[in-house]
Amino acid sequence: MIAYTLLAGLLFGLYFSLVATGLNLVFGVMRLINLAHGDFLMLGAFLAYGLYTAAGVNPLYTIPAEIAAFMLAGIALYYAVVPRLLSSRDPEMLSFILLFGVSQIIEALAVIAFGNDQRAIPATVFGSRPVFLFGQSFPAAWVVSAAVSAIALLAVYVYLYHSRLGYATRAVMASRDEAASTGINVHRVSAVALGAGLALAATAGAFSAFMLGSIEPDMGIGITTVSFAVIVIGSLGNPLGTVLGGLVYGLGLMFMETYFPSWADLLPYVLLILILLVRPSGLLGKRVRLA
Amino acid sequence: MFAALPFVYGNHALLFNMMMYLVLAQGINVLFGFTGYLPFGYVGFFGTGAYGASLAILLLHLPPLPALLVGAAAAALVGLILAPLLRLSGAYFAIASLAASEIVYYIVSNPHLTPITQGPYGISLVQAYNAGASYAVMVAVLALALGAVVYLRNSHLGLALQAIREEPISAGFAGINVVRERTRAWLLSAALAGLAGGAYAWHVSVFYPKPVFDLNISVFAIVFTLFGGVATLLGPIVGTLLLYGLYNWIGISQPEYFQLVFGIVIVVLVLFLPNGLVSLLRRIKIDVP
């Protein structure tokens, strides 16, 4: 029982890391909390669902389409609103409220387009046989989702630490002004980061049907809160700290669901508030955030 | 005005809800307008007030009016427990307060607490139901909320809060007890929501936990306030009358279209009119209370 819970926690932990990484990347680069994060994930889920029902496409093969579409959407969103906001009096609060408006628009359009029903992709698309890990059996969909998450997280690592644009991204994270003064095109870096953040959310969305239950238009805000909890547990502004946050959250969730199922819903919120109050810099944080 | 309207306009539910949102919008105004803290989880206080008042009637067998005070006290108590959240700033506070309201919701609706809170099965106060009296109470609560904002706009406390909002450190140097003043605003705002929640519970008399902890209640109150203009008396009133009127016009039959309009209003507001509608009047040199 414990071995099963532990392994399931790790699988879900990897998946939740993917769910939250995009939010953290965007926060790290732009210091803004993308309140529409969960709604973009929801759109990614509906894209996967649509391709599956219309053409029988396996969610695995929709990933390139998800990445391309949401990368472009993110870049467009950035240039449409952010430069204008940066010149205002209180950019952090205003962008927070603005993204909340964006989230409402997305949710409303999703209801208009897809209706209010719950959708699901049958978990048997990855084969109906369970996968055995260390003597425990798990649904194939869980293992596939966790593997895709691991690959995507690895890709984020390679991008940040082994590519030119990634170096520039980390420079902007460290100090926006200094990065600009060394000739880095801050707007381009930020636009790509927002695009990448949305693309990561959408990729996670393609597997949400298996990991988060059904797909429905109003799932966004809950996912945003959980993602926020995960990145706060890890460390705000440090995309790789998210992996730790995701694992802590995934394990915590699985143990709660096994031993105290009726209280499991409380977990992300309690963790979030505890960490914010006790250790605002997160488990991996180095310096104290000015809050 | 709302005391007289029921005699000329038949849709009492609409009038009651409009008053409720006026109270909540002013409560948000007290907190966000005067201290800059944006409480996404404001509905948590509303729900706490609704449950606090209902449980006082059901378990303690209090008459409705003292029960309302119990509801407000419960909301203020939750506010006091959550007061450390005020150490967080900006968006962190907003999300942490949202998490806090979800915690209250999950505790209240937990099936294990059914003997006390009825868990997910909801509350029934039919024995105390009194549409007229609860309507009158909401009018009084509204008057209280408006009075609170008038007081804040004209008092030392309101001035101190606005100073804290702009420059907390300088405000501290100027001799303002930053922590105490903003905790006061926080508790006042929580108690207002608690009163509104209690009056709502009494008025509808049968309700489930989900709708009284619905995030949309926070969202409505916040957007109504922003739309009209924060830190003014008139702003939240104008915002609530216009947008809640709009909601009743298109929102009830087609909520998704209303949500769309709502989202667009927020985006346009932030990009072009961050100080709300009343700032238009200010611009043409009309002073707004």
**pLDDT at res. B163:** 81
Interface test with A, best of B37, B40, B95 (most A CBs within 10 A): B95
pLDDT tens, B74-111? 888 888 888 887 877 777 788 888 888 888 888 888 77
Each residue's pLDDT tens digit, A155-187: 888 888 888 888 888 888 887 778 878 888 888
For B118, phi then psi, to 5°, come to 65, 5
Output DSSP code: residue A130.
Answer: P
DSSP letter (8 states) at residue A191: H
Rounded Cα gap, residues A14 and A18, in angstroms: 7
The C-alpha atoms of residue A17 and residue A127 are separated, in whole angstroms, by 25
Span A194-216, mean pLDDT?
85
With CA atoms as reference, report the closest residue to B199 among B274, B275, B89, B125.
B125
- Considering only CB atoms, which chain B residues are within 8 Å of A225? 95, 98-99, 102
Rounded distance, CA A133 to CA A27, Å?
35
Which residues of chain A lie closer than 8 angstroms to B111, CB-CB? 262
Cα–Cα distance, B85 to A198 (Å, whole number) = 29
Residue A221 has pLDDT above 70, yes or no: yes
Query: How confident is the model at residue B2, as a pLDDT?
Result: 63
**Which range is least confidently modeled, A23-27, A77-81, A283-287?**
A283-287
What's the pLDDT at B229?
Answer: 79
* Residue segments in chain B with a per-residue pLDDT below the cut of 50: none
CB B245 within 8 A of CB A80: no
**Does the pLDDT at position A289 exceed 60?**
no
Residue from A269, A278, A289 to probe the interface with B (highest B Cβ count within 10 Å):
A269
pLDDT at A291 over 60: no
Considering CB atoms only, which of B84, B90, B256 is closest to A277?
B84
Nearest CA in chain B to A116: B256
What is the per-residue pLDDT for B10? Answer: 62
Of A103, A104, A265, the CB nearest to B106: A265
Stated pTM of the model: 0.81
Residues of chain B with Cβ-Cβ distance to A290 below 8 Å are 89
- Cβ-Cβ contacts under 8 Å, A85 against chain B: 270-271
Q: What is the pLDDT of residue B220?
A: 83
B260 and chain A in contact, CB less than 8 A? yes
Question: B111 touching A, CB under 8 A?
Answer: yes
Q: Does A230 touch chain B (CB under 8 A)?
A: no
CB burial string B181-200: b at 16+ within 10 A, e below:
bbbbbbbbbbbbbbbbbbbb
- How far, rounded to the nearest angstrom, does the alpha carbon of residue A236 sit from its chain's CA centroid? 13
Task: Give the mean pLDDT of A272-282.
Answer: 73
pLDDT at B91: 73
Q: What pLDDT shows up at residue A208? A: 84
Judged by CB atoms closer than 8 Å, whether chains meet at B85 and A277 is answered as yes
pLDDT 10s digits, A114-156: 877 777 777 767 666 777 777 777 777 888 888 888 888 888 8
Q: For A137, which DSSP code?
A: E
Which residue out of A37, A77, A79, A104 would a mutagenesis test of the B interface target, given it has the greatest number of B Cβ atoms within 10 Å?
Answer: A104
- Contacts of residues B245-253 at CB distance under 8 Å and 24 or more positions apart, as own/partner, are B247/B220, B248/B14
Mean pLDDT of A46-57: 82
